Amino acid sequence: MSVRYTDHIRRLPSTVPFVGPETTERQRGRTFRARIGANESVFGPSPKVIAAMTDALADIWKYADPESFDLKNALAENLGVTPANIMIGEGIDGLLGTAIRLIVEPGVKVVTSLGAYPTFNFHVNASGGELIQVPFRNDHEDLDGLLDAAHRNDASILYVSNPDNPMGTCWPGSEIERLIDSLPSGTTLFLDEAYVEFAPEGTAPRMNTDNPNVIRFRTFSKAHGMAGARIGYAIGHDEVITSFNKVRNHFGINCTGQIGAAAAIRDQEWVAHVRACVEQGRERLYAIAAGNGLQAIPSATNFVTIDCGRDGVYARAVLEALGDRDVFVRMPFAEPGNRCIRVGVGTDDDLDIFEEEFPGALKAALAAAGD
């Protein structure tokens, strides 16, 4: 007896985009003291969100409203678009999967940055698409290089994350608008704005839902502190947004999560508070890096990428030495970013632990390198 996998699935390796920190903790038999590696928001959701979700919990027996009417209206008001321009999904991760299924089939070409967010690649691979990967330049996504690759390959999707993960850098919105104006006619820009709330004013391009070739992706996982609720949204042309209904999981949204998300978008004071905490934490991480003779890359996100000053093998040794000291961080996986480690803005306690353990981890990595 055997399972008749499709040819394409049979050829795919069984990979997961990220190993969760819980998996690592189980393997180690020990929990982390500082969980600052998964780009979560340690500041959590607003008290108003917690109250709304707590109130809603007894109704968890109901399937969630598959139209997400209240949440879409709250978002539309906040963004200055109509509810028809918004699709709710299981985080950006879920929405990327849905949108890719609409466009990618075996052989379709897709352009992204080498070392960019791997869940995008994971979904493209699942649909049999061909990934064309353009290296980062000066720790930024190389917009001209990406555009050039999209033109040369007649790509169906161009994925850009602004601000980006894993380097934490960003382009001004005017540059993204220039990119949009120069797209090949058959290329749809997937603009991942997971971290946009932490970025300087003007990082988001103007909201324009008239262009069917731009889909923007945002989330409640970062600034709103709701990663576990799994709620994200796509913004785009109403016809493109409607087409999500062809393949999406209509009852895939967490009922309590979407009630919490509507409360979150209405509590911009909390977002401002989190932004201020993140700005403070970034400064502290820059100072910790400098105190250890290292340079941090200026960040527009809730994490700071620290250049360890050597190659990827050395940065991995630093990361592992931090893990040995119960500090969970991650690192970029492609050159040249893999000379760095990526450290999330934690609570004061998290950052105290990181500050205390970082010098020892660097020393251990140097010793492992034979220096």
The footprint of ligand PLP (CB under 6 A) covers 39, 91-93, 117, 161, 165, 192, 194, 219, 221, 227, 232
CB-nearer residue toward ligand PLP: 161 or 203: 161
Q: Compute the least distance from the CB of residue 10 to ligand PLP, in Å.
A: 28
CB-nearer residue toward ligand PLP: 157 or 317: 157
Q: Compute the least distance from the CB of residue 175 to ligand PLP, in Å.
A: 18
CB-nearer residue toward ligand PLP: 195 or 314: 195
Residue 65 CB-density burial (10 A; 0-12 exposed, 13-18 middle, 19+ buried)? middle
CB-nearer residue toward ligand PLP: 227 or 235: 227
Phi and psi dihedrals of 56, rounded to 5? -85, -10
Q: Compute the least distance from the CB of residue 72 to ligand PLP, in Å.
A: 16
- What whole-number distance in Å separates Cα of residue 167 and Cα of residue 139? 6
Residues near 370 by Cβ (< 8 Å), separated by ≥ 6?
none
Q: Compute the least distance from the CB of residue 110 to ligand PLP, in Å.
A: 16
Q: Which residue is nearest to ligand PLP (CB)?
A: 91
Q: Compute the least distance from the CB of residue 221 to ligand PLP, in Å.
A: 3
Q: Using DSSP, state whether 137 is helix, strand or coil.
A: strand
DSSP β-ladder status, 130-134 and 86-89: unpaired
- What whole-number distance in Å separates Cα of residue 209 and Cα of residue 228? 29
- What whole-number distance in Å separates Cα of residue 191 and Cα of residue 4? 36
DSSP secondary structure, 301-359, as one string: SSEEEEE-SS-HHHHHHHHHHHHHTTEE-B---STTGGGEEEEE---HHHHHHHHHHHH
CB-nearer residue toward ligand PLP: 325 or 342: 342
Q: Compute the least distance from the CB of residue 54 to ligand PLP, in Å.
A: 22
Q: Compute the least distance from the CB of residue 331 to ligand PLP, in Å.
A: 14
- What whole-number distance in Å separates Cα of residue 18 and Cα of residue 304? 19
- What whole-number distance in Å separates Cα of residue 198 and Cα of residue 43? 13
Inter-residue contact 168 to 344 (CB < 8 Å): no
CB-nearer residue toward ligand PLP: 90 or 357: 90
DSSP β-bridge partners for residue 183: none
Q: Compute the least distance from the CB of residue 232 to ligand PLP, in Å.
A: 4
User: What's the angle, vertex CA 255, arms to CA 252 and CA 258, rounded to 5?
Assistant: 95
CB-nearer residue toward ligand PLP: 165 or 169: 165
CB-nearer residue toward ligand PLP: 141 or 307: 141
